[in-house]
């Protein structure tokens, strides 16, 4: 018997990226317990080994004797699991090859530092013998920065870890006395079991700690994970340039709300409704230069259908309300004019920053990696093409690893204006020899925050995923009726009964905390997750896709049958005269899937059939055009 429950959690108010973005709008998100801490700092690498500015100190780890003699090493496990100098990866561990324990840094072929967790925890013959968490650091000899008024540190790293991002730490420590240390996070919010870029470059302005100091020490620390490895190479200290802005990460803000989900697909009416305020362009900037810097964000949106620039703005403000960013500090810059799409399609979001003077590294002031699909009916957070084979299980956050009926994986949404929801789509993965082999029944669920509680609005009819043919393709759970929703706060997701449901995820995308959620059926408690973005679509209805009610063919009756359809979809109608006829079947984003045209169809009764056996379960749209007049409706495919 399914259990019904009301979610009682504390709520906190969240406003814009900063309070300066307040337009008398407030939304609430759950005060949930974090499973993983996260810091999504994204840096843009440069290709050179040494900086064009004056080099203070440089270590390429080419001299193994000097490194092992002059550096300090420490291991807190008591098992001599220390960093080591290598010029090639180590083999013999079951999960990591020698090639993986390497780094493609500028001087990586002549030596680098390695902490081989898998190698230490194995017998070096392919068998794991222990699961001891690494807790080790290595420290440079004293570096003389006397007479240097500005100091920037750079290093290259590569790592992978398992099995909990709640315990992992990856950091650079800096000290000018060998006793007091300042931490700089170099984990980059890397997810469990996902390797970093090879290599990943980090830079920090450490002027406040190192300028004019006769002794400066650097430590690289890794701990809290038993599996995989970490590599470090090419550590450089150089004098900062007069002007050097760095874009740490882009911060597109939807509906004029900070700390909100970053969407990859958004219905146009949702962005353009009176209370939505469109899309705000913003970016977190780090002033690596010696001088204060006044940034200008040149924001653009390029429609990829014709490469036209549909939006541009450069009136830039800082969330600190300052007019400039001080040296060695960070701030968030945003444009004062929001982006309201006037047409549907795929957009490339372009962030380009200028500053007060000639920038030392202009290549790291630009980002065009984000795209946005503006459509009629689909809201989605993930950005990947679902090529990953790694999913997420609610049970993975529980000891022992057992699913509980009623576990939910979901996402948070602030709905800025009233709208109508029909269903939720997701991409289940079959994981052989895991609990996804068990019979699985799932439901789409939608919760709304009402009067201090999260209340179940509705749940769909059950979807049986027991058959292996139901996996590795899109599935859709339809609510019992179309849900007319008020503006407000919602959590929408998939509830699971039977086994563990693995849903395809995008591990590369950044999402703020309190965006992706799991609900523990045994604890009756929501948690937010930071290990990736679920492949979930929330599907909306529009008046122009709700069937024959929008029929402009007033003199023609159209019968679409069967509906739901299994293998064949038929469209039956009668023509009063010879006509030009076209029939299109589209997915819910408006992409054409099938079509039929006849420039001179004879008058009388007609029946056009489509073989739909190749279509996946879900809702599709159809449009029938007769001599330029259209009728649009929907058809469900259910096999």
Residue range 563-581: mean pLDDT, rounded: 89
Range of the domain at 170: 55-238
Residue range 14-24: mean pLDDT, rounded: 27
Q: What is the pLDDT of residues 98-145, one digit of tens each?
A: 888 999 999 999 999 999 999 999 998 888 899 899 999 999 999 999
How many whole angstroms separate alpha carbon 550 and alpha carbon 71? Answer: 75
Residue range 327-338: mean pLDDT, rounded: 90
Q: What is the pLDDT of residues 42-91, one digit of tens each?
A: 323 333 334 446 899 999 999 999 999 999 999 999 999 999 999 998 88
Predicted confidence at residue 530, as pLDDT, reads 60
User: Residue 413 domain-assigned?
Assistant: yes
The answer on 221 and 201 residing in a single domain is: yes
Higher per-residue pLDDT: 631 or 519: 631
Omega prior to 562 cis, within 30 of 0:
yes
Predicted confidence at residue 309, as pLDDT, reads 95
Q: Which of 494, 516, 540 is the last residue of a domain?
A: 540
Residue 430 has pLDDT above 60, yes or no: yes
Higher per-residue pLDDT: 610 or 3: 610
Residue range 507-528: mean pLDDT, rounded: 70
Phi/psi-derived region of residue 243, left when phi > 0, alpha when psi is between -120 and 50, beta in every other case: beta
Paired tokens of 634? 């929907």
Please report which residue ranges of 145-302 form alpha helices under DSSP H: 207-210, 268-272
The answer on 320 and 203 residing in a single domain is: no
Instruction: Specify the residue for token string 């470090």.
Output: 232
CATH at 279: 2.60.40.10
Q: Which of 506, 540, 574 is the last residue of a domain?
A: 540
Residue 622 has pLDDT above 90, yes or no: no
The answer on 102 and 206 residing in a single domain is: yes
Predicted confidence at residue 85, as pLDDT, reads 97
CATH at 222: 2.60.120.260
What is the Cα 370 distance to its own chain's centre?
11
Handedness of CA 237, 242, 44, 282 (dihedral sign): positive
In 3D space, the residue among 608, 599, 612 whose CA is nearest the CA of residue 560 turns out to be 608
Computed over every residue of the chain, the mean pLDDT equals 80
Burial of 339 (0-12, 13-18, 19+ CB in 10 A): buried
The answer on 62 and 208 residing in a single domain is: yes
The answer on 548 and 426 residing in a single domain is: no
The pTM assigned to this predicted structure is 0.70
Residue 396 main-chain phi, psi, to 5 deg: -65, -15
Predicted confidence at residue 538, as pLDDT, reads 92
> pLDDT tier at 416 (50, 70, 90 boundaries)?
confident
Compute how many other C-beta atoms are within 10 angstroms of the C-beta atom of residue 70.
Answer: 12
How many whole angstroms separate alpha carbon 107 and alpha carbon 70? Answer: 20
Q: What is the CA radius of gyration of the chain?
A: 28
CATH at 548: 2.60.40.1930
The answer on 131 and 228 residing in a single domain is: yes
Predicted confidence at residue 634, as pLDDT, reads 79
The answer on 402 and 354 residing in a single domain is: no
DSSP 331-367: EEEEESS-B--SS-EEEEEEEEEE-SS--S-GGGGEE
Residue 37 has pLDDT above 60, yes or no: no
User: Residue 20 domain-assigned?
Assistant: no
8 Å CB contact between 139 and 172: no
Predicted confidence at residue 397, as pLDDT, reads 57
8 Å CB contact between 293 and 356: yes
Residue 140 per-residue DSSP state: P
The answer on 147 and 186 residing in a single domain is: yes
Higher per-residue pLDDT: 226 or 192: 226
Q: What percent of the chain has pLDDT over 90?
A: 41
Residue 36 has pLDDT above 60, yes or no: no
Predicted confidence at residue 9, as pLDDT, reads 26
Residue range 23-44: mean pLDDT, rounded: 30
User: Residue 475 domain-assigned?
Assistant: yes
Q: What is the pLDDT of residues 246-305, one digit of tens each?
A: 998 888 888 655 556 788 899 988 888 877 778 989 999 999 988 999 999 999 999 999
Residue 1 has pLDDT above 50, yes or no: no
The answer on 529 and 386 residing in a single domain is: yes
Higher per-residue pLDDT: 408 or 65: 65
Predicted confidence at residue 66, as pLDDT, reads 94
Higher per-residue pLDDT: 7 or 516: 516
CA angle 287, 290, 296 (to 5 degrees): 40
Q: What percent of the chain has pLDDT over 70?
A: 81
User: Residue 280 domain-assigned?
Assistant: yes
8 Å CB contact between 160 and 229: yes
How many whole angstroms separate alpha carbon 135 and alpha carbon 144? Answer: 28
Residue 394 main-chain phi, psi, to 5 deg: -55, -35
Residue 559 has pLDDT above 90, yes or no: no
Q: What is the pLDDT of residues 289-325, one digit of tens each?
A: 889 999 999 999 999 999 999 999 999 999 999 999 9
CA atoms within 13 A on the CB side of 31: 8
Q: What is the pLDDT of residues 339-365, one digit of tens each?
A: 999 999 999 999 999 999 999 888 889
User: Residue 26 domain-assigned?
Assistant: no
User: Residue 25 domain-assigned?
Assistant: no
The answer on 566 and 503 residing in a single domain is: no
Residue 175 has pLDDT above 90, yes or no: yes
Residue 204 has pLDDT above 50, yes or no: yes
Residues 6 or more apart in contact with residue 381 via CB below 8 angstroms = 261, 262, 263, 264, 411, 509, 511, 515, 516, 533, 534, 536
Predicted confidence at residue 188, as pLDDT, reads 77
> pLDDT tier at 588 (50, 70, 90 boundaries)?
low
User: Residue 44 domain-assigned?
Assistant: no
Predicted confidence at residue 548, as pLDDT, reads 34
The answer on 568 and 548 residing in a single domain is: yes
Q: What is the pLDDT of residues 485-516, one digit of tens each?
A: 998 889 999 988 877 777 776 666 667 666 77
Q: Count the domains in the chain.
A: 4
User: Residue 531 domain-assigned?
Assistant: yes
Q: Which of 505, 520, 540 is the last residue of a domain?
A: 540
The answer on 615 and 467 residing in a single domain is: no
């Amino acid at each position: 018997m399914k259990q019904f429950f009301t979610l009682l959690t504390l709520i906190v108010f969240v406003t814009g990226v900063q309070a300066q973005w307040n337009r008398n709008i407030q939304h609430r998100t759950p005060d949930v317990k974090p499973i993983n801490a996260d810091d999504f700092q994204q840096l843009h690498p440069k290709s050179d080994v040494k900086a064009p500015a004056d080099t203070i100190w440089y270590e390429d780890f080419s001299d193994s004797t000097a490194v092992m003699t002059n550096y300090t090493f420490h291991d807190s496990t008591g098992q001599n699991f220390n960093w080591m100098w290598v010029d090639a990866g180590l083999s013999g561990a079951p999960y990591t090859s020698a090639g993986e324990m390497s780094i493609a840094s500028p001087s990586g072929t002549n030596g680098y530092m390695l902490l081989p967790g898998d190698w230490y925890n194995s017998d070096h013959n392919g068998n794991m013998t222990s699961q001891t968490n690494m807790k080790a650091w290595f420290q440079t000899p004293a570096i003389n920065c006397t007479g240097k008024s500005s100091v920037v540190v750079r290093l290259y790293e590569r790592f992978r870890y398992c099995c909990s991002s709640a315990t992992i730490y990856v950091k650079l420590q800096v000290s000018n006395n060998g006793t007091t240390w300042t931490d700089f996070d170099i984990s980059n919010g890397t997810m469990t079991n996902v390797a970093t870029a090879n290599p990943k470059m980090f830079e920090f302005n450490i002027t406040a700690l190192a300028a004019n100091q006769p002794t400066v020490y650097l430590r690289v620390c890794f701990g809290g994970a038993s599996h995989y490895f970490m590599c470090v190479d090419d550590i450089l200290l150089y004098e900062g340039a007069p002007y050097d802005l760095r874009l740490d990460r882009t911060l597109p803000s939807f509906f004029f709300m900070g700390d909100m989900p970053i969407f990859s697909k958004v219905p146009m009416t949702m962005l353009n409704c009176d209370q939505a305020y469109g899309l705000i362009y913003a970016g977190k900037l780090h002033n690596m230069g010696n001088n204060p810097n006044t940034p200008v964000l040149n924001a653009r949106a390029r429609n990829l259908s014709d490469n036209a620039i549909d939006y541009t703005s450069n009136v830039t403000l800082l969330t600190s309300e300052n007019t400039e960013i001080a040296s060695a500090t960070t701030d968030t810059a945003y444009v004062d004019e929001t982006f309201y799409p006037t047409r549907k399609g795929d957009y490339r979001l372009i962030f380009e920053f200028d500053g007060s003077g000639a920038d030392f590294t202009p290549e790291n002031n630009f980002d065009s990696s984000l795209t946005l699909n503006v459509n009629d009916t689909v809201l989605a957070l993930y950005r990947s093409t679902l090529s990953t084979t790694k999913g997420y299980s609610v049970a993975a956050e529980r000891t022992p690893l057992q699913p509980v009926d009623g576990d939910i994986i979901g996402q948070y949404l602030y709905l800025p204006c009233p709208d109508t929801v029909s269903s939720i789509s997701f991409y289940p993965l079959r994981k052989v020899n895991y609990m996804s082999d068990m019979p699985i029944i799932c439901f789409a669920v939608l919760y709304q925050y009402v009067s201090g509680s999260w209340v179940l609005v509705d749940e769909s009819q059950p979807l049986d995923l027991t058959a292996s043919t139901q996996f590795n393709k899109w599935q859709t759970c339809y609510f019992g009726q179309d849900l007319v929703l008020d503006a407000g706060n919602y959590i929408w997701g998939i509830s699971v009964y039977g086994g563990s449901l693995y849903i395809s995820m995008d591990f590369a995308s950044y999402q703020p905390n309190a965006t992706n959620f799991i609900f523990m059926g045994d604890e009756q408690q929501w948690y937010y997750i930071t290990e990736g973005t679920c492949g979930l679509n929330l599907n909306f209805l529009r008046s122009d896709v709700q069937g024959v009610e929008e029929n402009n063919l007033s003199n023609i009756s159209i019968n679409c049958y069967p509906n739901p359809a299994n293998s064949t979809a038929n469209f039956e109608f009668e023509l009063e005269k010879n006509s030009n006829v076209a029939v299109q079947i589209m997915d819910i984003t408006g992409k054409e899937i099938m079509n039929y045209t006849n420039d001179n169809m004879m008058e009388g009764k007609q029946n056009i059939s489509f073989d739909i056996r190749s279509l996946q379960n879900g809702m599709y749209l159809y449009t029938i055009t007769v001599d330029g007049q259209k009728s649009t409706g929907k058809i469900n495919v259910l096999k």
